[in-house]
């Protein structure tokens, strides 16, 4: 969790909002620090978190989480975190006979039809449990990242249906880096991203610098508040530049990097 | 501006984009219709009922019928309620329910429907919703049906967007520059026959009219390119013999005609 980002978004772990869709996207840069931020943020906020990790292994997220002051292993043990490790389970799907209910069952289908099993997994993970329901504040779904599904051959409409259902059931965090060479045409990943963009309440967009790589400024972050916000905030957009450090990220106004001044 | 959008029946297309969302404008139009005492049917595919109804007065909320297509559109949750036959059946159901009296149908959003339905099917259904399609001739204001459709423009190719916009009576395209939102409104006038016919031949400086005699003369005239039986006979039965034609030539006073070389003057 990066306190500076919380300040920019005007939020804190004890004021975590419910029922909101946040879209994290990255263009020509690595936006994974945003995912790490929100993972640690919601674990600290005492929310029930379902994390669909399709890019990295559990140990990777665990190591980054420890740097940010949360232990994913402990969270998983006490039932706060449900972690779907896409890299490992995809191997299981291929080499072991599975029932139809495996969340990543679409990998075995010739023409990946829909993501209903994945949705059912999420729904099951975030279903309020009678015994410990009071312990967790609100359900949170994090997907890292959606464009992997598109790359695996799932149709854009199927991905959008999955997002739709997740939205109808839980508030969620989604990470959709724009594919570098996004295909043209209505089925390309760009369209899927634009559609999710339309649905989301808050969009965080990490972009590489137009002028190229820089040692002291790693990129810029655009924050866009969309509909269903108080009127003063609606449609507001802010841009900051950032530098990723070992355990934190510093944000500053455009062109105001301490290294330059 | 809002009155003029709702003045005509038929489809009003709201085209929005990622930066400039159009749902708030849709809600304002719904509010306007509800205040006029119309029943408003909302086919909601993109936001939950609570989120959609947020910001409406109780009086307006009572006039808004929300057809929830958001919670379980594909029957994944297996609740089995609402719309088992898919989005098209839902759209038809909304259409049927609004049969008598003025009504407004709000589609939130056309983009979702376009992603799940073929464009032609959607266009045909929209056409039956509009007053010209359902009851030809009866376009009294009492039977007008307003259809408000929200379309996320950049999600679709030019084909579907063009098809929908040709169905629309009015289009609002949202955009803006540097924090200043703007709406571009395009009205498509309904095709009407002029009621007072103006004679274009009145007040001319020349005569365009024909008298009876002139008309007869004109009708009896055979034009040179017209092919008649007389002409045909003339062509078929030529007078025989090449000797029937002669050339009469009278040399000019200055002509220097050389019998030996008649082509002398050509200077070859």
- Determine, yes or no, domain membership for B22: yes
Contact A143, A52 (CB under 8 A): yes
Helical spans, DSSP H, in chain A: 3-9, 32-44, 58-67, 72-77, 86-95, 116-126, 146-151, 156-169, 189-199
Task: Give a three-class secondary structure readout of B59-83.
Answer: HHHHHEEEEECCCCCCCCCCCCCCC
Which chain A residues touch B154 with a CB distance below 8 Å? 191, 194
Q: For the stretch B210-229, what's the b/e string if a residue is b when 16 or more beta carbons lie within 10 angstroms of its beta carbon?
A: eeeeeeeeeeeeeeeeeeee
Give the pLDDT band of residue B155 (cuts 50, 70, 90): confident
Cα A40 vs. chain centroid, distance in angstroms?
Answer: 12
Tens-place pLDDT, residues B43-57: 888 888 888 888 888
Of B23, B48, B74, which is closest to A161 when you measure between CB atoms?
B74
* Residue B169 Cα distances to B22, B108, B150, B158, B164, angstroms: 18, 18, 14, 18, 10
> Tell me, what's the pLDDT at B200?
75
Using the beta-carbon criterion (under 8 Å), do A186 and B116 form an inter-chain contact? Answer: no
Write the CATH number for B53. Answer: 3.40.50.300
The ipTM value here is 0.79
Using the beta-carbon criterion (under 8 Å), do A227 and B23 form an inter-chain contact? Answer: yes
Of B18, B70, B72, which is closest to A194 when you measure between CB atoms?
B18
Query: Mean pLDDT, chain B, as a whole number?
Result: 79
**How far apart (Å, rounded) are the C-alpha atoms in residues B178 and B20?**
11
- Dig out the tokens for A170 from the structure: 């839980």
- First and final C-alpha spacing in chain A: 27
Give the pLDDT band of residue B241 (cuts 50, 70, 90): low
Given a cut of 70, whether residue B190 has pLDDT beyond it is: no
Domain count across chain B:
1
> Tell me, what's the pLDDT at A98?
63
Which chain A residues touch B76 with a CB distance below 8 Å? 116, 119-120, 165
State the average pLDDT over residues B143-159.
Answer: 85
Q: Is A182 on the interface with B (CB under 8 A)?
A: no
> Tell me, what's the pLDDT at B43?
87
State the average pLDDT over residues B183-208.
Answer: 74
- First and final C-alpha spacing in chain B: 83
Cβ-based contacts under 8 A for chains A and B: 55
Q: Is A227 on the interface with B (CB under 8 A)?
A: yes
Query: Mean pLDDT, chain A, as a whole number?
Result: 81
What residues in chain B have their Cβ under 8 A from chain A's Cβ atoms? 18-21, 23-24, 46, 48, 51, 54, 70-74, 76-77, 111, 115-116, 152, 154-157, 179, 181
Which chain B residues touch A120 with a CB distance below 8 Å? 76
- Dig out the tokens for A172 from the structure: 């969620």
For chain B, percent of residues with pLDDT exceeding 90: 6
Give the pLDDT band of residue B193 (cuts 50, 70, 90): low
Given a cut of 50, whether residue A181 has pLDDT beyond it is: no
Q: Is A198 on the interface with B (CB under 8 A)?
A: yes
H or E stretch at A222: strand A219-225
Which chain B residues touch A227 with a CB distance below 8 Å? 21, 23-24
Cα B118 vs. chain centroid, distance in angstroms?
Answer: 20
Contact A206, A31 (CB under 8 A): yes
Give the pLDDT band of residue B216 (cuts 50, 70, 90): very high
**How far apart (Å, rounded) are the C-alpha atoms in residues A250 and A256?**
11
Q: Which residue has the higher pLDDT, B80 or B217?
A: B217
Long-range contacts, B202-208 (Cβ 8 Å, 24+): none
Of B24, B70, B77, which is closest to A227 when you measure between CB atoms?
B24
Q: Is B38 exposed, middle or buried (0-12, 13-18, 19+ CB in 10 A)?
A: buried
Q: Testing the interface with B: which of A116, A168, A222, A234 to mutate, by most B Cβ within 10 A?
A: A168
Using the beta-carbon criterion (under 8 Å), do A198 and B18 form an inter-chain contact? Answer: yes
What is the residue range of B170's domain? 2-187
Phi, psi of B217 (to 5 degrees): -60, -40
H or E stretch at A243: strand A237-244
**A219: helix, strand or coil:** strand
Nearest CA in chain A to B72: A165
Q: Which residues on neighbouring strands pair with residue B17, listed in sequence order? A: none
Of B18, B23, B157, which is closest to A197 when you measure between CB atoms?
B18
Which chain A residues touch B70 with a CB distance below 8 Å? 164, 168
Contact A223, A204 (CB under 8 A): yes
Residue with tokens 């013999």: B241
- Determine, yes or no, domain membership for B210: no
Q: Is A187 on the interface with B (CB under 8 A)?
A: no
Q: Is A165 on the interface with B (CB under 8 A)?
A: yes
Residue with tokens 């959709």: A176
Cα-Cα-Cα-Cα dihedral sign, residues A125, A128, A132, A138: positive
**How far apart (Å, rounded) are the C-alpha atoms in residues B53 and B163?**
30
Q: Which residue has the higher pLDDT, A260 or B220?
A: B220
Contact A251, A241 (CB under 8 A): yes
Tens-place pLDDT, residues A193-236: 788 888 888 888 888 888 888 888 999 998 888 765 555 556 67
The answer for residues whose C-beta is within 8 angstroms of residue A56's C-beta and 6 or more apart is A32, A87, A144
Q: Which residues on neighbouring strands pair with residue A225, listed in sequence order? A: A202
Q: Which of A175, A166, A181 is nearest to A33 (CA)?
A: A175
> Tell me, what's the pLDDT at B215?
92
Q: Testing the interface with B: which of A18, A198, A226, A229 to mutate, by most B Cβ within 10 A?
A: A198
- Determine, yes or no, domain membership for B201: no
Task: Please state whether beta strands B170-177 and B10-16 pair in parallel, antiparallel, or not at all (unpaired).
Answer: parallel
Cα-Cα-Cα-Cα dihedral sign, residues B59, B60, B64, B70: negative
Contact A108, A153 (CB under 8 A): no
Using the beta-carbon criterion (under 8 Å), do B115 and A168 form an inter-chain contact? Answer: no
Given a cut of 70, whether residue A151 has pLDDT beyond it is: yes
H or E stretch at B53: helix B49-53
Give the pLDDT band of residue A134 (cuts 50, 70, 90): low
Q: Which of A79, A102, A86, A191 is nearest to A143 (CA)?
A: A86
Give the pLDDT band of residue A28 (cuts 50, 70, 90): confident
* Nearest chain B Cα distance for residue A196, angstroms: 10
Using the beta-carbon criterion (under 8 Å), do B157 and A186 form an inter-chain contact? Answer: yes
Which chain A residues touch B118 with a CB distance below 8 Å? none
> Tell me, what's the pLDDT at A185?
36
Specify the DSSP class assigned to residue A218: -
Of A19, A186, A227, which is closest to B21 when you measure between CB atoms?
A227
Contact B98, B105 (CB under 8 A): yes
- Give me the half-sphere count of Cα atoms (radius 13 Å) on the Cβ side of residue B111: 27
pTM tops 0.90, yes or no:
no
Angle among Cα B26, B31, B33 to the nearest 5 degrees reads 95
Task: Please state whether beta strands B180-187 and B170-177 pair in parallel, antiparallel, or not at all (unpaired).
Answer: antiparallel
Pick the CATH number of A3-253 from 3.40.50.300, 2.160.10.10, 3.40.50.150, 3.90.1170.10: 3.40.50.300
Of B51, B116, B157, which is closest to A228 when you measure between CB atoms?
B51
Q: Which of A61, A78, A148, A158 is nearest to A114 (CA)?
A: A158
Contact A189, A147 (CB under 8 A): yes
Cα B131 vs. chain centroid, distance in angstroms?
Answer: 15
Q: Testing the interface with A: which of B18, B47, B77 to mutate, by most A Cβ within 10 A?
A: B18
Using the beta-carbon criterion (under 8 Å), do A119 and B23 form an inter-chain contact? Answer: no
Give the pLDDT band of residue B100 (cuts 50, 70, 90): low
* Nearest chain A Cα distance for residue B146, angstroms: 25
Tens-place pLDDT, residues A34-85: 989 989 998 998 888 889 888 889 999 999 999 999 999 999 998 889 999 9
> Tell me, what's the pLDDT at B141?
45
H or E stretch at B25: helix B23-35
Nearest CA in chain B to A184: B157
> Tell me, what's the pLDDT at B99?
55
């Amino acid at each position: 969790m990066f306190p500076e980002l919380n300040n920019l978004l005007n939020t804190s772990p004890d004021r975590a909002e419910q029922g909101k869709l946040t879209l994290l996207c990255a263009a020509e840069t690595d936006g994974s620090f945003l995912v790490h931020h929100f993972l640690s943020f919601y674990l600290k906020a005492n929310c029930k978190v379902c994390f669909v990790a399709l890019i990295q292994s559990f140990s990777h997220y665990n190591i980054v989480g420890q740097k940010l002051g949360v232990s994913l292993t402990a969270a998983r043990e006490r039932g706060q975190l449900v972690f779907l490790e896409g890299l490992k389970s995809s191997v299981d799907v291929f080499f072991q006979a599975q029932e139809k209910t495996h969340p990543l069952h679409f990998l075995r289908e010739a023409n990946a039809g829909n993501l209903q099993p994945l949705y059912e997994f999420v729904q099951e993970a975030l279903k309020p449990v009678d015994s410990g329901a009071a312990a967790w504040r609100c359900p949170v779904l994090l997907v890292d990242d959606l464009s992997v599904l598109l790359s695996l051959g799932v149709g854009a409409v199927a991905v959008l249906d999955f997002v739709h259902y997740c939205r109808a059931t839980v508030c969620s965090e989604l990470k959709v880096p724009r594919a570098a060479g996004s295909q043209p045409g209505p089925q390309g990943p760009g369209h899927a991203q634009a559609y999710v963009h339309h649905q989301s309440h808050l969009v965080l967009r990490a972009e590489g610098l137009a002028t190229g790589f820089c040692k002291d400024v790693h990129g810029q972050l655009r924050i866009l508040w969309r509909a269903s916000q108080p009127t003063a905030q609606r449609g507001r957009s802010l841009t900051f530049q950032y530098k990723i450090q070992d355990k934190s990220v510093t944000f500053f106004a455009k062109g105001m990097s301490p290294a330059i001044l | 501006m809002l009155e003029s959008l709702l003045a005509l029946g038929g489809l009003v297309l709201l085209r929005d984009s990622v930066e400039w969302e159009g749902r708030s404008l849709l809600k304002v139009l719904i509010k306007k219709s509800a205040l006029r005492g119309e029943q408003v049917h909302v086919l909601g595919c993109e936001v939950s009922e609570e989120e959609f109804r947020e910001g409406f007065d109780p009086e307006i909320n009572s006039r808004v019928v929300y057809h929830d297509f958001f919670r379980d559109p594909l029957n994944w949750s297996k609740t089995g309620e609402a719309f088992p036959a898919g989005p098209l059946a839902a759209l038809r159901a909304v259409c049927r329910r609004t049969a008598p009296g003025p009504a407004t149908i709000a589609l939130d959003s056309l983009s979702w429907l376009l992603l799940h339905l073929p464009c032609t099917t959607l266009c045909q259904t929209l056409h039956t919703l509009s007053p010209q399609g359902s009851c030809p001739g009866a376009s009294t204001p009492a039977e007008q049906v307003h259809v408000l459709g929200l379309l996320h423009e950049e999600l679709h190719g030019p084909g579907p967007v063009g098809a929908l916009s040709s169905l629309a009576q009015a289009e609002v395209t949202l955009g803006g520059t540097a924090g200043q939102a703007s709406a571009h409104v395009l009205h498509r006038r309904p095709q009407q026959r002029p009621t007072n016919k103006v004679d274009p031949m009145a007040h001319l400086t020349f005569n365009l009219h024909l008298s009876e005699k002139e008309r007869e003369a004109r009708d009896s005239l055979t034009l040179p390119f017209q092919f008649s039986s007389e002409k045909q006979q003339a062509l078929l039965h030529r007078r025989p013999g090449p000797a029937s034609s002669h050339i009469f030539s009278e040399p000019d006073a200055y002509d220097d005609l050389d019998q030996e070389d008649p082509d002398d003057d050509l200077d070859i």
